[in-house]
Structure 1
Amino acid sequence: MLTLTSITGLDLCLACVGVYLLKQVFNKKNPAAYPPGPPGWPLIGNVLDVPHIKPWLTFTEWGKKYGDILHIEVLGQHIVVLNSLKTAMDMLDNKSTIYSDRPILPVGGELIGWKNATPLLPYGDRLRRHRKNFHNVIGTRAAMGIYNQVEEVETRRFIKRVFKKPDQLEAHVRHTAGAVILRISHGYEVKENDDPFVDVADRALDQWSRVTAPGAFVADVVPFLVKAPEWFPGAGFKRVAREWHDTLEEMVSAPYKFVVDQMAAGIAPESFTSNLLGGSPLSAEDEHVVKWSAATLYAGASDTTVSTINSFFLAMTLFPDVQKKAQAEIDAVVGPDRLPSITDQDSLPYIGALAKEALRWHAVIPTGFPHCVSEDDIHDGYYIPKGTVVIPNIWFMLHDPEIYVNPRQFNPERFLANDGKKPETEPRTICFGFGRRYLSRYAQLPNCILTFSCFSFTGIHLVEASVWLSIAMSLAVFDISKAVENGIEIIPDVDQSSGTISHPKPFKCSIKPRSSKAVALIEQDANY
């Protein structure tokens, strides 16, 4: 994959000369200064400064030096990074009419095809239709009620798999997330091992995370390379793009065809896709919207759920006192004779706060999804030209010590009102993104609910139930602690992967049933 750091000297020189000549032709006097930022080089700007590994950390350091809003320029492309919640809300929420577009990604979006997924859709009619689909089918807790049994059954199967093979936790989490979402999105029940739909989705989502990260391809800032033949110096990415396009197409089309075939045979279970297809003929545009809405639902909910649940297990390994408090609440409210169910949510406020803290502690999408400015703007005296890419540093906002006390500490009580002290800022006001695409984050939901919509769709209630159930059922039956090898406790590092969607780095932990009654609950049958 050709990145900004792997471009050849000749490619860079040619690109810079082209950008420079264009700037000289169209250069005009700016109405105000750009926001401050690291100084760039003539012609190439900040191309050598763009961070590729955990960019949110570099953005945080730049923020300490240059302020809450900073600017860089890469081969003529203006990029603004926002390092405070107030600035992000002032710009992306309060001026959402001009800050809600998406940048065009020539490789990841155009060549590979992710431009059809909800997060990369430009603000317009097709995006509104996607959101309408999500709202009509799964946009309310009442609508999601018909899928509660699916989520509870698959979560029961999850704890049974963990009980049998606790050393394969990450695989179980991913399998279960895929099982829940595919059942809801396409009415498909996954195979116990090596499921083809889950496998292709895992590959496609890994590719998505890589191609949408800042600086993924030099062609994203030097678009003329997209038109070059594959043998042209610097155009080798086109072979990768072709292969990854095929992977994405399989992920989108194969489950959709499964639903169509099941409906034709009259045996399709109720699902997001079957509800949208109904029984009447659809236009090609309608089918396209249904297919990609369903694919976005699966892709977004699957990978983000995996990341959050893995971070929960990591937190329980490192913060045993939190685990004990959560288990005490479950024992007092639910008791030892049954597993928690979705109907217990309102009675378990500490579990709800713990779920919120898992969301805050590990930022699933640390730099959010980039916005694109649709017309020139002056903000706080700074010039933000049309076409500027705006990146919210969500990781820092969720770890800002001005917002969260001891932000590196995993502390669910920060979201509970205790001794007259108000709860700290709701993570949903940060982690779900900003602007018109994300206004659902302001919905007034019960405090015990984890609201999760980081993939820019309104499948909040779907994912909140999956994450909440995984946390509640796991704590009801398991003790999670540090692994011990050769008599030595292994303390896992708190580290996360790069990419648009970030996961905790692999870690070891010990997972054991709490009691013989817990074993009996784990071994109960779990069927639809």
Structure 2
Amino acid sequence: MTLTDITWLDLGLAGVGVYLVKQILTQKNPAPYPPGPPGRPLIGNVPDMPQVKPWLTFTEWGKKYGDISHVEVLGQHIVVLNSVKAAVEMLEKKSSLYSDRPVLPMGGELVGWKNTLYRKNFHRVIGSRAAMDIYQPIEEIETHRFLKRVLAKPDQLQAHVRHTAGAIILRISHGYEVKENNDPFVDLADLAVDQFSKSTATGAWLVDIMPSLAKVPEWVPGAGFKRVAREWHETLEDMVAAPYKFVKDQMAAGIAPKSFTSNLLEGRVLSAKEEHIVKWSAASLYSGGADTTVSAIYAFFLAVTLFPDVQKKAQAEIDAVVGPDRLPSFSDRDSLPYIDAVAKEVLRWNAVVPTAIAHRVIEDDIHNGYYIPKGTLVIPNVWFMLNDPRTYAEPSEFNPERFLAKKGKEPETDPRTICFGFGLHLADASVWMTVAMSLAVFDVSKVVENGVEITPEVDPSSGTISHPKPFKCSIKPRSAQSLALIQEDA
């Protein structure tokens, strides 16, 4: 049941109940709520909550009401943050009050993604650039294989990006080397992660606003969301169990390569609870890293299709530093500042997680004179933070030079300080490697069909994880020498 599936009569009745209970139980607030769209009698701000691309509606609220705006939906208070300053002041400086993470009834409870909260082992695996260094050979080998796939079938770019992201993270998480085509683990994980994005999308499910609906039987009219949740739960369970069983079988046979999972299992007899944590930790590593990387890398190809001058500058730097006789490697990173800037601009220009994951307030708070009650959901509008003209000049332009120091001008804010998330360092490494290798050997340009040049549309999808709209582009080797580099053994 989505917000559009429910009638105004249903909302009205529910709203009346909430309103009457609140009138009886609530006391006068110690301070006003932050400003926001005025609520309707009984139902509050239900009609104001966006279901498609909520970050655009939140941006409009920010322009009208300021960096902190507030709505109330059937008794649930929601605060939206529209600036980095507000996010830092509340989510970082007051983290003891704002660090709780809500478990959404649809995605968290009914589908089961709440189990991916087991992340205590992540920091030593992918929690810093230094921790990622051990996986650099995997990144380089799989990115070289990506070049080969693109060369063979350039019209299937999106599939190649997804395949490579899955290959890298499954090697790290489970020591699994993917099949070249139609890999069952990659296909299963892609399906589950797509369902995650849909099941946790801001404002998409009424049960997230009215948790009591989770107890409604599946056969009740209007409870189709329960059937959807059951099917998505089965997909998720398969995604978690199948690669975990692969690792255990490999270990039993004495042929398991080192991986996140094998390291946690090696030499230990685990209780059922411990095994649950290991299994879901590994699944969290995949679901948190793969889809963000797919979105960012696909956006890179869109950007260089639309902004050919960026491609020329990047290729000139690679030619000067690396030369034509080899592919770039991570050892070149410090010598390629423009390539580094391109990778940063990819993360800024394409907001992978445009509204981040909501926080929940643990106790009542007064912030900047505004009352933030216990239980309030706090949503950072990351998309606007990355497109705020107060922070980034001409934000719709793809301009890597904004991150390069110039005489009399400091670089603009590093977007990686805004792109919160444990998968950041994995995405950062994968994006950098793909940018460097791809530009070293490929020319990317607009497609010409029937004599007409096709300009791709910049239209990100809605969902917790946002992807560029599918587009066409031309990808060709830069030279005979580039072709030879691609065809070398990875």
| TM-score scaled by length of structure 1 | 0.91
The reply on whether 1:371 has 2:363 as its aligned counterpart is no
Q: Write out per-residue CA displacement over residues 105-132 of structure 1, whole angstroms, 9 at most, x where no aligned residue.
A: 11211111011113xxxxxxxx5xx23x
Partners of 2:144 and 2:242 in 1: how far apart? 27
Equivalent residues, number: 490
> Once the 2 structures are TM-superposed, how far is the Cα of residue 233 of structure 1 from its aligned partner?
3.4
Partners of 2:58 and 2:41 in 1: how far apart? 22
The reply on whether 1:521 has 2:485 as its aligned counterpart is yes
- Tell me if structure 2 keeps the 8 A contact 1:15–1:222: no
Match of 1:485 in 2: 449
Match of 2:411 in 1: 423
- Tell me if structure 1 keeps the 8 A contact 2:445–2:474: yes
Unaligned runs of 5+ in 1: 119-126, 433-455
Structure 1 residue identity aligned to 2:446 = K
Partners of 1:3 and 1:190 in 2: how far apart? 36
Match of 1:440 in 2: none
SS of residue paired to 1:48: helix
Going from structure 1 to structure 2, the CA distance change for 1:220 and 1:460 (only over 3 Å counts) comes to closer
Partners of 1:502 and 1:137 in 2: how far apart? 25
Give the counterpart of 1:160 among 133, 140, 148: 148
Partners of 2:73 and 2:340 in 1: how far apart? 42
Match of 2:440 in 1: 476
SS of residue paired to 2:354: coil
SS of residue paired to 2:297: helix
Match of 1:397 in 2: 385
- Tell me if structure 1 keeps the 8 A contact 2:106–2:200: no
SS of residue paired to 1:354: helix
Give the counterpart of 2:316 among 328, 343, 348: 328
Partners of 1:277 and 1:490 in 2: how far apart? 52
Q: Write out per-residue CA displacement over residues 145-172 of structure 1, whole angstroms, 9 at most, x where no aligned residue.
A: 3322211111111011101111110000
> Once the 2 structures are TM-superposed, how far is the Cα of residue 225 of structure 1 from its aligned partner?
1.1
The reply on whether 1:387 has 2:375 as its aligned counterpart is yes
The reply on whether 1:184 has 2:172 as its aligned counterpart is yes
Structure 1 residue identity aligned to 2:471 = F
Partners of 2:357 and 2:289 in 1: how far apart? 15
SS of residue paired to 2:70: strand
Unaligned runs of 5+ in 2: none
Partners of 1:22 and 1:249 in 2: how far apart? 39
Structure 2 residue identity aligned to 1:96 = S
SS of residue paired to 1:357: helix
Give the counterpart of 2:467 among 503, 514, 517: 503
Match of 2:226 in 1: 238
> Once the 2 structures are TM-superposed, how far is the Cα of residue 11 of structure 1 from its aligned partner?
3.2
Partners of 1:253 and 1:371 in 2: how far apart? 29
Partners of 2:237 and 2:158 in 1: how far apart? 26
> Once the 2 structures are TM-superposed, how far is the Cα of residue 43 of structure 1 from its aligned partner?
1.4
Match of 1:443 in 2: none
Give the counterpart of 1:413 among 401, 414, 422: 401
- Tell me if structure 2 keeps the 8 A contact 1:4–1:216: yes
Question: Which is worse superposed, 408-417 or 18-27?
Answer: 18-27
SS of residue paired to 1:479: strand
| TM-score scaled by length of structure 2 | 0.98
Match of 1:13 in 2: 12
SS of residue paired to 1:80: strand
> Once the 2 structures are TM-superposed, how far is the Cα of residue 144 of structure 1 from its aligned partner?
3.0
Partners of 1:87 and 1:423 in 2: how far apart? 21
Describe how 1:190-201 pairs up with structure 2 within 5 A: 190-201=178-189
Partners of 1:306 and 1:10 in 2: how far apart? 42
> Once the 2 structures are TM-superposed, how far is the Cα of residue 143 of structure 1 from its aligned partner?
3.9
Structure 1 residue identity aligned to 2:171 = R
- Tell me if structure 2 keeps the 8 A contact 1:329–1:348: yes
CA RMSD of aligned residues (A): 1.3
- Tell me if structure 1 keeps the 8 A contact 2:416–2:424: no
- Tell me if structure 2 keeps the 8 A contact 1:11–1:233: no
Partners of 1:110 and 1:505 in 2: how far apart? 30
> Once the 2 structures are TM-superposed, how far is the Cα of residue 227 of structure 1 from its aligned partner?
1.0
Question: Which is worse superposed, 15-24 or 62-71?
Answer: 15-24
Match of 2:326 in 1: 338
Q: Write out per-residue CA displacement over residues 289-308 of structure 1, whole angstroms, 9 at most, x where no aligned residue.
A: 21111111111111000000
Match of 1:352 in 2: 340
Match of 1:210 in 2: 198
Give the counterpart of 2:264 among 266, 269, 276: 276
The reply on whether 1:219 has 2:207 as its aligned counterpart is yes
Match of 1:451 in 2: none
- Tell me if structure 1 keeps the 8 A contact 2:12–2:42: no
- Tell me if structure 2 keeps the 8 A contact 1:5–1:48: no
SS of residue paired to 1:397: helix
Going from structure 1 to structure 2, the CA distance change for 1:203 and 1:394 (only over 3 Å counts) comes to same
Partners of 1:416 and 1:168 in 2: how far apart? 33
- Tell me if structure 1 keeps the 8 A contact 2:34–2:370: yes
Partners of 1:80 and 1:10 in 2: how far apart? 26
Structure 2 residue identity aligned to 1:380 = N
> Once the 2 structures are TM-superposed, how far is the Cα of residue 141 of structure 1 from its aligned partner?
4.2
Identity percentage of aligned residues:
74
